[in-house]
Amino acid sequence: MTMQERPLNPFDVSQDALYVEDTWREPFARLRAEMPLSWREESPFGAYWSAVTHDLVQEVELRHDVFSSRWDMGNITIADAVNGEGFPNFIAQDPPIHTAQRRVIAPAFSPSQMLKLDKQVRERTKMLMDGLPVGEPFDWVERVSIPQTLGMLCILFDMPFEEWRDIKRWSDWASGVSAENLNDEYRAQFLAQMGEMLARFDRELEDRRGKPPTDDLLSRMVHSEAMGHMEPMERIANIALLIVGGNDTTRNSMTALVEAFDKYPDQLERLRADRSLIPNAAQEIIRWQSPVTHMRRTALEDTELGGQVIRKGEKIVMWYISANRDERVFPDAERFDVGRENARRHLGFGHGIHRCVGAKLAENQLATLIGEIVDRNIRIVPQGAPERLPSPFLHGFTSLPVRIEPQ
């Protein structure tokens, strides 16, 4: 098959504006209907394939022997390596390196560890909700989503909660995939921020190295064979991954809850009538929001996908945000439905060997917050439009003004 025969994507779905202006639904709906796998020749990030349906995204995820996550093959996002530097975190690897490093982190999110964290999740959520004003406007992102998720991250790292603002800043820099950031000035600032982050976390890692192993993530890393002797760039990459994965995705889903319950108030009443639906509601908000817009793979060899020839070295972008709106899998997909029978089939956490290692903690935090909202018999009313994240990578919010009203 020649390049001319490729289905050419008329939309550059990597544009920040689609997500800032919340206008991404129509182009993805057209792509799902007309060209589930398409080629975009020009974009700020270079040429790329778009896989936009549930089945194609799953196939790419499962064929990890052909579609690589390796940092030295490109990146795990549509953007290539920053400043020519690779970002070798454990999800930007293929087996066997990925397998060995994931095994270091995974026990921190085991069922037994989740039981230990459950009390802290509940206590922190109740404390935050107790401290919110009633009848006065405030920013939900600043007062709820950020402190809740970053507080849990400090617990996972066994670091003082007072450092959450620094961790948030480093998280924002580490996840800053945007066409606006493809310049030397940004790259220099990015590397400076990552260097500052590394200096701070290296002090923690050295402290753990001199102590017996414990359950926190840093201790698990430093006392392991697979991650105990990483080079500086590896340490930066893996710490940044844990920070971004440990807070950004969950906090954006927590903010999306406000939008969902405001747009579909009947679903909140449905939960009040039947609290057993709360765990499923947590799955549904992840599907509905899709806090990670995409992940990227790179073809290791010429291969076929969806009836198209993919050439070695080409990037394939898996648009989770579109796969989670696939009407063939999720009927009436635009609707937020807490009783959706197959909500768990969402791809918000990825699929296959790279599925989010901290998914259970995210689900627990979301379900706990939903439970608090349900039990308090309140309405959380937006006070204007949200400010949305200018990025094709993380689908989120920078601000959402709200007011709590008793019912």
User: How much is the pLDDT for 80?
Assistant: 83
User: How much is the pLDDT for 248?
Assistant: 83
333: Cα separation from own chain's centroid: 20
Pairing state between β 387-388 and 378-382: unpaired
User: How much is the pLDDT for 1?
Assistant: 44
- Total residue count of the chain as it appears in this document: 407
When pLDDT is cut at 50, 70 and 90, the band that residue 184 belongs to is confident
Q: What value does the mean pLDDT of the chain take?
A: 93
State what percent of residues in the chain have pLDDT above 70: 97
Quote the CA–CA distance of 194 and 196 in Å, as a whole number. Answer: 5
- The pLDDT tens digits for 216-259 are 999 999 999 999 999 898 898 889 889 988 888 899 999 999 99
- The pLDDT tens digits for 285-302 are 999 999 999 999 999 999
User: How much is the pLDDT for 85?
Assistant: 55
Has residue 176 got a pLDDT over 60?
yes
- The pLDDT tens digits for 373-393 are 999 989 999 999 999 999 999
User: How much is the pLDDT for 276?
Assistant: 98
- The pLDDT tens digits for 311-327 are 999 999 999 999 999 99
- The pLDDT tens digits for 61-71 are 999 999 999 88
Quote the CA–CA distance of 319 and 330 in Å, as a whole number. Answer: 16
When pLDDT is cut at 50, 70 and 90, the band that residue 87 belongs to is low
**Structural domains of the chain ordered from first start:** 3-384+391-406 (1.10.630.10)
Helices (H) and strands (E) in the chain — how many of each?
Answer: 16, 12
Q: What is the torsional sign of CA 223, 73, 170, 368?
A: negative
